[in-house]
Every structure is written in C-alpha cells, then in structure tokens.
C-alpha cells in the first residue's frame, strides 16, 4: 500500500507539472542550448563546471537572453541584457522574488532578515537599517579597518622573518583575509573583539571554516531545483530537521550568531540608555530601531537575523574580493609596481601637509589604484549570479533585440508567472555592448577614460558594477565593504610584494552563492589562494 501511495503521489506531481506547463505562457521561442537530460536539464552541467565557464560559452553563442533547462525539463532564463536587468532589479524589483527553496535556506541560516524578506516587510526592514549604513557611518569606521590590516601586516612580517632565508613566504592569503575581515566586521559592526587573527579556533572561527562550500556547494543548484517542487511546510521540516551536512551547518550558523546577538542587544541597549552609544553598526541600528514607531520597528527575531546576515555577508564577500585583487596583482608585477609608486607619491603629499597616515579621501584620489580595484571587481564578482522568480506574467524590455528560434527578431520578452531567471552578474560585466570589444580582457585603463564606462550603463550602486546588486535590493553595506577593501589594499600593496609561487598555477571558481577560489590541482582542500609575499623595497 505504501509503495502504491508513493507511486500515486509521484504521478500526481508529474501530471501537475505537465498541466501547469501546458496551461501557461511559454518561453519556448527563446533560443538556448540543448539539454542532455529531461530529468536534470542543464543543472548537472552547471553544477560540475567551474563558475562562469558555461555561462560565458552560452553568452558567446546565444547572446544576453538564453533559455536553458532545469529539473523535469522546466524552462528557465539566463538574462544579462541591460534594459531587462534594469527592469528586474530596479524598476520592478518587488515583482521578482527568490524561489522558495532559496528563501528557506536563508531563513534557516539567519532568520527573517533583510535578504530573506520580500515586499512590504523588506521595505520596512531596509528603512530601519539604512541610517546605520550611510556614507559618513562607513567613513567613521576607517580607523577600525586600519587597525585590523595593521595587525595582519605584523603577522605576515613575522611569518616572513620566520622562514629560513627571512625574505619571502608562501601563504594562503584567502584564509588570512577571511580571518582579518571577520575581525573587522566584529569590531566595526558590533564593537565585538573576535580575535580571529590571533586564534582562528574560537566558536565563530570554527563556524566559518569552509562555510561557503559546506552550505552552498556547486551541487546546491540541483538540490534547490528539486526541493522547490515541495510545499513550504515540507521544506521547513527538511531544512530544520534532516541531518545532512548542509542543513546542519545552516542551523549551526543561526544558533551561534543568535547567541552572540542576544548578548549584544542587552549590552547595546544598556549603553544607549546610559548615553554611551558607540558608532558601530549594531549600536546605530538599535538606536534607529528605537526611534521608529512601534509598528515599524524590527522585532527581536529580526534583529538577531540582521546580525547573523551582517556577519556572513560582511566578511566572506569582502575577503574573497580582496583575494582576487591580490591574485591579479601577483600576475601583473608591472601594474603592481605602478600602484605602489602611486601610493608612495601620495604618501609624500600627506607628509608635506603634516599628516602621517592615509585618509579615505587620499585613497579615493589614487586614480590607477581605483581603476585596478574596479577592474578586479568587474572580472571577479564573488556573487556570480542572482536568482529571481516572476510573481506574475511580465513583459521585459530589451536593450538588444534577440532572434527567436524561428528567426524572428524580438525587442521585448514575455515572461510567464513562475519563471525562474538567473541574473549572471559575471556575464553582464563582460557584455561587449556595455564594456566594449575587450570586455573579456583585464584592462584597468578602461576606467581611466573619465565617464566613458559610466555613460554606458545605469546599473549597480558603484560605477555600473553589479557586485553589490542593484536597485532597492542592492547590498545595504556596500559603502562599508568598499571602505574596508580600499583600506586593506593600500596598506598591503604599500608593504608587501605579491607573486605566484608557480607560473602554471590554475585556480577555479566554485560555490553557488559566494564564489571562492580553489587550486585546481588541490580542489579537495577547499578555498585557498597560495601567494608568495615579501617586503616591498623602498627606494
């Protein structure tokens, strides 16, 4: 009887899928690659390939709008067209939600936070949180970032001096940057000393060891596609109960960060009552929350969740972006020397005016340094793709007309309700209609041409780059992240010279949310970026 019941349920689901598929609008007119499997479509290909490899190939063959296959032959879209993205992320952001399986994962990991929420709940949460993430607030945290990178520099100098020759050392910069940025987020966001640089074995340190690959491995794209067919209560039971490593790690993250959050809310609340509020993000958030009308305030559960997501989003994306910057510097010694010379020329100006240290304004004046940073962000977005689902039938405008399967040219795209849309940030960053014919080439000089790139596209929150998303759902902490990255890079480039331990080293990008580097020959060791560091000469 049980087997018969299972059979009936399976057949019922398949009939429901077929019914829904044949009674709604179709996107079968959109061109795309042929799938080898009806069951998994292109999902296994995407899961088993380095991030970007398949996407760029499809972009070259089919352009900026691609139809590909998901679970049970489901038609899905991959879109990097400028106008379409503008509509999806900016104009009509609340008409495109995250798939339910993705949202349940976020809820299990953090709770009802800003990334998980939709519609009016998202608007309310963002309104309360914005005062803690403004430009002045980010700049005020510059000394915190400076202190953490100084600590990192001391450790790296000690490692170099401890080698046999005392001149250079090969280290996994990704691991060290992860520790340093976690320390920075603890201090800047919560006025909380984590001590990761001195001891990576504490509770939070252990929590974040290989966290991205454990909770969002490449195969997650397949699991999400299968789980997304299940109703909400079943999804909640699976994520909250089943003893699989991914689910365990998600639940562990929420438990550990919530414990810290509860302690901090009590401490920060008392400080504010006594008039001793600090300038860390969490203090500002609690202050802003207290000034809201009761119906608009964040609940305790939401406050815990916001803290949780700030921890994860505030260090992993930053540390991996910094990692790719150092990698590009190591590959390009001429550019590395040019940036270092630019930094030291500015040092002379700083000394001449009677100061001893860089300010954020000084760093922002370094033209080639800024160009290099932006070009690395363009070529290496650590969140490679966003996923959205149309909540109703929608007509998308297109910047570039597409040719459909019949050879007809279309200037807009009819998207049925329920269609999943992958927004590959990496493909948008290499769209030749936006960035020019050399879009696939690492070329910081493109940023030295005034407003040439800026005029080409109105996407993103900084210089048309979508590393922080775009529109009303863009990353609320982007100013915070940019301040931290600039501070870290200037100090590290000024102090150290970076090189590749071997010229034939090949790195792959893996992961399904935050993209991390793995050494192709040692993929089983997880995220790593071994680079050679030595003390930079001062002529």
Please say if the pLDDT value at position 370 is more than 70.
yes
Specify the 3-state DSSP secondary structure of 423: strand
Residue ranges of E strands in 82-196: 96-97, 168-172
Extended beta strands in 404-480, E state = 409-415, 420-424
- What integer is the mean pLDDT of 198-206? 74
Q: What pLDDT score was predicted for residue 3?
A: 61
Name residues whose C-beta falls within 8 Å of residue 249's C-beta, 6 or more positions apart in sequence: 211, 214, 215
Give the residue, 382 or 313, on which the prediction is more confident.
382
pLDDT value of position 286: 80
Q: Is residue 19 part of a domain?
A: no
- Give a yes or no: residue 1 inside a domain: no
Question: Is the pLDDT assigned to residue 483 strictly greater than 60?
Answer: yes
Collapsing DSSP to helix, strand or coil, 358 comes out as: coil
Split at pLDDT 50, 70, 90, the class of 279 is: confident
| Cα distance between the two ends of the chain | 83
Q: How far apart are CA 75 and CA 495, in angstroms?
A: 51
Which has more pLDDT, 11 or 63?
63
* Confidence class for position 11, pLDDT limits 50, 70, 90: low
Residue 88 has pLDDT above 70, yes or no: yes
Average pLDDT over every residue of 5-26: 59
Residue entry with tokens 């700083």: 350
User: Of 206 and 234, which is predicted with more confidence?
Assistant: 234
Residue listed under structure tokens 């005062």? 131
Q: How confident is the model at residue 277 (pLDDT cuts 50, 70, 90)?
A: low
Annotated binding-site positions for heme: 475
Rg (CA), the chain: 24
pLDDT tens, position by position, 227-258: 989 999 999 999 999 999 999 999 999 999 88
The count of domains in the chain is 1
Structure confidence at residue 1 (pLDDT): 44
Q: Tell me, what's the pLDDT at 288? A: 79
Residue 8 lies in a domain: no
Q: Is residue 12 part of a domain?
A: no
User: Quick check: is 6 in a domain?
Assistant: no
Q: What is the mean pLDDT of residues 347-372?
A: 94
Considering only 174-183, 201-210, 473-482, which range has the smallest mean pLDDT?
Answer: 201-210
Q: Give the DSSP letter of residue 462.
A: B
Judge whether 20 lies within some domain.
no
Parent domain of 410: 34-65+76-535
Q: What is the pLDDT of residue 103?
A: 94
Q: What is the mean pLDDT of residues 167-178?
A: 95
Report the pLDDT value the prediction gives residue 316, as an integer from 0 to 100.
87
* CATH number for 350: 1.10.630.10
Predicted confidence band of residue 12 (pLDDT cuts 50, 70, 90):
low
- Separation between Cα atoms, residue 182 and residue 510, nearest integer Å: 21
pLDDT of res. 201? 67
Q: What is the mean pLDDT of residues 408-435?
A: 95
- In the predicted model, what is the mean pLDDT of residues 484-504? 96
Look-up of token digits 């993430």:
133
At residue 315 the predicted structure's pLDDT band, cuts being 50, 70 and 90, is: confident
- Asked if 157 and 536 count as a contact pair (C-beta separation under 8 A), the reply is no
CB atoms within 10 A of CB 28: 10
Q: Taken in order 298, 127, 88, 36, is the CA torsion positive or negative? A: negative
- Is 80 part of a structural domain of the chain? yes
Mean pLDDT (the chain, rounded): 90
Contact 103, 117 (CB under 8 A): no
Q: Over range 320-339, report the average pLDDT.
A: 97
Query: Model pTM?
Result: 0.91
Residue 86 DSSP label: I
The band of 23, judged by pLDDT with boundaries at 50, 70 and 90, is very low
Query: Do the domain assignments include residue 390?
Result: yes
CB–CB of 80/381 below 8 Å? no
Instruction: Please state the residue numbers annotated as binding site.
Output: 475
* Percent of all residues in the chain with a pLDDT value above 70, rounded to a whole number: 92
Q: Which residues of 291-311 are buried (b: 16+ CB within 10 A; e: fewer)?
A: eeeeeebbeeebbbbbbbbbb
CA dihedral 218, 219, 221, 226 (to 10 degrees): -170
CB count in 10 Å sphere of residue 531: 21
């Amino acid at each position: 009887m049980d087997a018969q019941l299972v059979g009936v349920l399976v057949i019922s689901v398949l009939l429901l899928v077929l019914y829904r598929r044949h009674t709604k609008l179709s996107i079968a007119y959109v061109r795309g690659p042929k799938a080898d499997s009806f069951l998994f479509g292109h999902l296994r290909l995407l899961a088993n390939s380095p991030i970007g490899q398949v996407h760029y190939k499809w972009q070259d063959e089919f352009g900026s709008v691609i139809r590909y296959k998901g679970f049970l032959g489901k038609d899905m879209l991959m879109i990097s067209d400028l106008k379409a993205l503008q509509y999806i992320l900016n104009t009509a952001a609340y008409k495109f939600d995250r798939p339910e399986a993705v949202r349940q994962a976020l809820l299990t990991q953090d709770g009802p936070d800003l990334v998980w929420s939709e519609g009016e709940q998202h608007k309310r949460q963002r309104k309360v949180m914005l005062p803690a993430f403004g430009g002045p607030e980010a700049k005020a945290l510059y000394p915190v970032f400076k202190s953490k990178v100084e600590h990192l520099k001391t450790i790296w100098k000690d490692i170099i001096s401890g080698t046999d020759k005392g001149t250079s050392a090969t280290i996994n910069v990704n691991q060290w940057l992860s520790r340093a940025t976690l320390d920075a987020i603890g201090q800047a966001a919560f006025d909380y000393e984590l001590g990761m640089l001195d001891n990576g074995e504490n509770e939070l340190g252990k929590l974040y060891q290989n966290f991205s690959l454990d909770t969002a491995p490449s195969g997650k794209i397949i699991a999400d596609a299968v789980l997304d067919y299940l109703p909400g209560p079943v999804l909640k039971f699976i994520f909250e109960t089943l003893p699989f490593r991914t689910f365990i790690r998600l639940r562990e993250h929420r438990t550990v960060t919530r414990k810290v959050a509860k302690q901090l809310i009590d401490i920060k609340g008392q400080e504010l009552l006594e008039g001793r509020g600090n300038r860390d993000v969490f203090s500002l958030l609690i202050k802003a929350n207290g000034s809201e009308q009761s119906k608009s305030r964040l609940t305790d559960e939401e406050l815990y969740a916001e803290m949780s997501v700030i921890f994860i989003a505030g260090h992993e994306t930053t540390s991996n972006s910094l990692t790719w910057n150092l990698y590009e510097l190591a590959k390009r010694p001429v550019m590395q020397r040019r940036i270092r010379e630019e930094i030291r020329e500015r040092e002379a100006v700083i000394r001449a005016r009677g100061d001893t240290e860089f300010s954020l304004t000084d760093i922002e004046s370094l033209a080639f340094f800024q160009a290099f940073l932006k070009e690395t962000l363009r070529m290496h977005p650590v969140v490679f793709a966003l996923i959205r689902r149309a909540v109703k039938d929608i007509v998308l405008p297109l910047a570039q007309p597409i040719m459909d399967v019949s050879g007809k040219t279309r200037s807009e795209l009819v998207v049925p309700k329920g269609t999943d849309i992958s927004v590959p940030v990496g493909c948008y960053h290499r769209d030749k209609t936006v960035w020019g014919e050399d879009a696939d080439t690492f070329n910081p000089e493109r940023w030295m041409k005034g407003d040439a790139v800026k005029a080409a596209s109105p996407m993103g929150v900084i210089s048309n780059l979508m590393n922080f998303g775009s529109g009303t759902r863009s990353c609320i902490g982007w100013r915070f992240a940019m301040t931290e990255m600039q501070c870290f890079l200037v100090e590290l480039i000024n102090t150290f010279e970076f090189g590749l331990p071997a010229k034939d080293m090949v790195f792959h990008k893996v992961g399904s949310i935050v993209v991390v580097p793995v050494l192709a020959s040692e993929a089983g060791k997880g995220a790593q970026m071994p680079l050679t560091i030595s003390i930079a000469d001062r002529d």
